[in-house]
Amino acid sequence: MTQVVDRRNGIESAEPAVDVEALGEQLLGRWASVRRQARDLAARPELHKTEGLPHTGHRARVSGQLKYLVENGAVHRAFPSALGGLDDHGGNIAGFEELVVADPSLQIKAGVQWGLFGSAVMHLGTGEHHKQWLPGIMSLEIPGCFAMTETGHGSDVASIATTATYLPETEEFVVHSPFRAAWKDYIGNAAIDGLAAVVFAQLVTTGVNHGVHAFYVDLRDPVTGEFLPGIGGEDDGVKGGLNGIDNGRLHFTHVRIPRTNLLNRYGDVAPDGTYSSPIASPGRRFFTMLGTLVQGRVSLDGAAVAASKVALKAAIQYAAERRQFNASSHTDEEVLLDYQRHQRRLFTRLATTYAAGFAHEQLLQKFDDVFSGAADTDEDRQDLETLAAALKPLSTWHALDTLQECREACGGAGFLIENRFASLRADLDVYATFEGDNTVLLQLVAKRLLADYAREFRSVDFGVLARYVVGQATGVALHRTGLRQVAQFMADSGSVQKAAIALRDEESQRALLTDRVQTMVAETGAALKGSHRLSHEKGAALFNRHQNELIDAARAHAELLQWEAFTEALAGVADPGTKRVLTWLRDLFGLSLIEKNLSWYLMNGRLSMQRGRTVGEYINRLLVKIRPHALDLVDAFGYGDGHVRAAIATGAEKARQDEARAHFRSQRASGQAPVDEKVLLARTAAARKN
């Protein structure tokens, strides 16, 4: 145990110390140098959001900021080295997601240009496409759009209605929007800036629909900025957030493009109209094409974590300085961060942010392995897609929750735009529904869990499946009979301390979190067994009856992934004091998950009532342990004043509080302080008694 200065009172106490510098380095991860470069840019006033601008002014500012990124070499990392890039896929995402702290509109606009439009050309196109278009995309000579979503189809990309019909006599595709619902919608850069687009459409040749493919389509005259013949559009106008991006709608009326504008890495059409593909299965081809664009989800996961860190840095800094109510002193008011409820509000979210950050680093590593070719099998790509689909919903929902809670925890000051909570929350709101609606993504994860479960038991009968269901962990049958509860009650035997120790044990947490996922998947899998033999209608109805349980299972799975990532990160912490504090934080995360789902654990016999009651008690003890280290834990995020940019996190509140306390101390010392009426009444009452 080392001596550490208690940052609340400036005194030394026997507490484990956090090595802020070493922890900060660990949090930066593999691409630490890239993150530092990106944070240096993000701290520059030239890239900051100017609050209060009308959406037209905000759009113009962000468009100019994209040029600033190009001039400062911030956009080329993922592109081929032959064209001036660095072939650094993981580093590209690590740097890109840091832009959220400057202005989320800038991050997303940059993402549209280089992460979606440019990446689609790079990953779905071939060498000639790269030479023809990527240099202009990289330099911003060709601002572009990623035209996938339609008014009538968002997450269901396979059902989009825009068509690209091949004409062999002219060797052209005809791109067409057959009805209003087929218009491309919510498309970044579409309203003003986009000169071209990668348009996703149903490829039709020789009378056969070969499914969704991507086409490069010029949109506007580069001189006049007017739409080209057959192309039209509308401005989406003011949105709930991200108003620095010119989102709009696009529609096509028999627009002809050359055959070679088909981005043909996974599907090609010969001059005579013959279709060919290196992937025979239409379904596998479709998911392979979409899988190359997974980086959008990866980057949103990281950006959401970054936004949560910035919010917690501001809120915890403020709570360590702001005083309210003199609960334990006649003269001094309490620091907000010393209130248990305030700790509950902020520390549990701090723990989740750490877990999400460690999980994101693993996702980023997996992404880089796949796109660098270090580990690029079909299974690796499926794992990457599933991991991104699992983590992006949790981190984006968490960011929205954290921003709102931090806003409320800072009272009226939190509502001021100068402190950024309200602005960041408005901008991040749409993160929950773009690059894949969160609920739909979790359903994708659930289907993968079911597929893995089905492969394990493909050839067994229902009796074996039933035995598998009741055999999870220590056995559902045992739990449900109450024998487990009785055994646990006997083990606890009135010892709350023993029960708490068991719950804070790493293996106990892992067993509880893992068992919940396994049981939920197994029970739903058993309920859906045989659905493939039903009619299409009945099979869909059966699936729908269990959709909610499936999505709950997927979320539990994603939470387990975060807990495991946090636990694995602990193994890499060398400093004993830091490791002890992070272990408390990991335990807080794990026990908070158990507390959130306590009804499930009680109803399914995983915890006795007695042990269940200890969960909250131990969480409260962890809050007390973490309290002296809260500022160190947010300082380790590595975000300075130029990133946080919240007036309440500058130390101004401490100066105000110190001034107020000095005033009252001086007043009391002078003997000139007015007597409080309640004190006077108490004295009078005491005198009467005497």
DSSP letter (8 states) at residue 241: S
**Rounded CA Rg of the chain:** 29
Pick from 390, 404, 409, 398: nearest CA to 350: 398
Name the 3-class secondary structure at 603: helix
Q: Which residues contact 140 (CB under 8 A, 6 or more apart)?
A: 66, 67, 70, 113
The H-or-E segment that residue 640 falls in is: none
- Residue 148 makes CB contacts below 8 A (sequence gap 6+) with 157, 160, 184, 200
How far is residue 397's CA from residue 6's CA, in Å, rounded to a whole number? 33
d(CA 379, CA 398): 29
CA distance 423 to 407: 10
Pairing of strands 268-269, 275-276: antiparallel
Closest by Cα among 50, 70, 103, 6 to 307:
103
Contact criterion met (CB below 8 Å) for 509 and 560: no
Q: Are 120 and 196 in contact (CB under 8 A)?
A: no
Q: How many CB atoms lie within 10 A of CB 482?
A: 12
Q: Which amino acid, one-letter code, is at 158?
A: A
Cβ atoms within 10 Å, residue 312: 27
CA atoms of 414 and 408, how far apart (whole Å): 6
Our answer to whether residue 385 is catalytic in this structure is no
Q: Which of 321, 385, 435, 523 is catalytic?
A: 435
Instruction: Please say whether the beta carbons of 346 and 360 come within 8 A.
Output: no
State in Å, rounded, how far the first CA of the chain is from the last one: 54
Q: Can you tell me the distance from the alpha carbon of 18 to that of 632, in angstroms, rounded to the nearest whole number?
A: 7
Residue for token digits 């040749």?
Answer: 205
* Cβ 126 vs Cβ 265: under 8 Å: yes
The DSSP string of 545-585 is HTHHHHHHHHHHHHHHHHHHHHHHHHTT---HHHHHHHHHH
Q: Are 643 and 42 within 8 A, CB to CB? A: yes
Catalytic residues, by residue number, are 435
